[in-house]
Structure 1
Amino acid sequence: MESEYKKRSELLKALSHPVRLRIVHGLLKTGCHNVTCMEEKTGMSQSCISQHLQKLRLAGAVTARRTGNEVYYSVSSPVVAGVVAALFEEEASNYVL
């Protein structure tokens, strides 16, 4: 049971950074799933976004899938969507998983 608490706390730590929360919220709301699209939507650099995505991946908040030269990201589970929905007082059922 202790490992489950550690896993959940790592997820919350990853989501506690404003940029990472913005990335996950954007993945759920806009369907913008690659770094190029995230750059255009946020105005942040590719390296900044990539660093934050790496932390989100390590925490289990997002998953990545490679198609050719592009890497596409998605939110890993309905649990993550539920946490973000609660923070923004939105319905998780409106999100794209």
Structure 2
Amino acid sequence: MNNLTNEIFQETAEILKVIGHPIRLCILKGLYVEGEKNVTTMQECLNIPQSTVSQHLGILKNKGIIKGRRNGLEINYSICNEKVIKILETLLKEELI
């Protein structure tokens, strides 16, 4: 296996580890299906504390999977990683999530 292939596998494995958490996967599914959302909307949908949602959003943002756009006092999040979008398309097509 050459270095480029190894790098691609390492990057993909890291993405899969990050999105493999049930809450993060649920957040990503919501963003993919319904589009941009703020923390409060996600928290109400997931029925978990806002601090928990924020913690998972921070992980996704730090890994470059989502981005935030400020809208007044709130931040609206959306998926910005094409690999993650392709993974979600595959999962949703198979109705696994």
Please tell me the TM-score bracket, short chain as reference: 0.7 to 0.9
Count of equivalent residues: 90
Distance in structure 2 (CA, Å) of the matches to 1:39 and 1:18: 14
Q: Does residue 38 of structure 1 match 2:42? A: yes
Contact 1:61–1:80, Cα closer than 8 Å, also in 2: yes
With the length of structure 2 as denominator, give the TM-score of the two structures.
0.80
Distance in structure 2 (CA, Å) of the matches to 1:32 and 1:73: 5
Structure 1 counterpart SS, 2:23: helix
- Unmatched 5+ stretches in structure 1: 91-97
Deviation at 1:32, TM superposition (A): 5.0
Runs of 4+ with >3 A deviation: 2-5
- Unmatched 5+ stretches in structure 2: none
Q: Does residue 69 of structure 1 match 2:73? A: yes
Larger radius of gyration: 2
Q: Does residue 28 of structure 1 match 2:32? A: yes
Deviation at 1:80, TM superposition (A): 1.2
Matched to 1:16, the amino acid is G
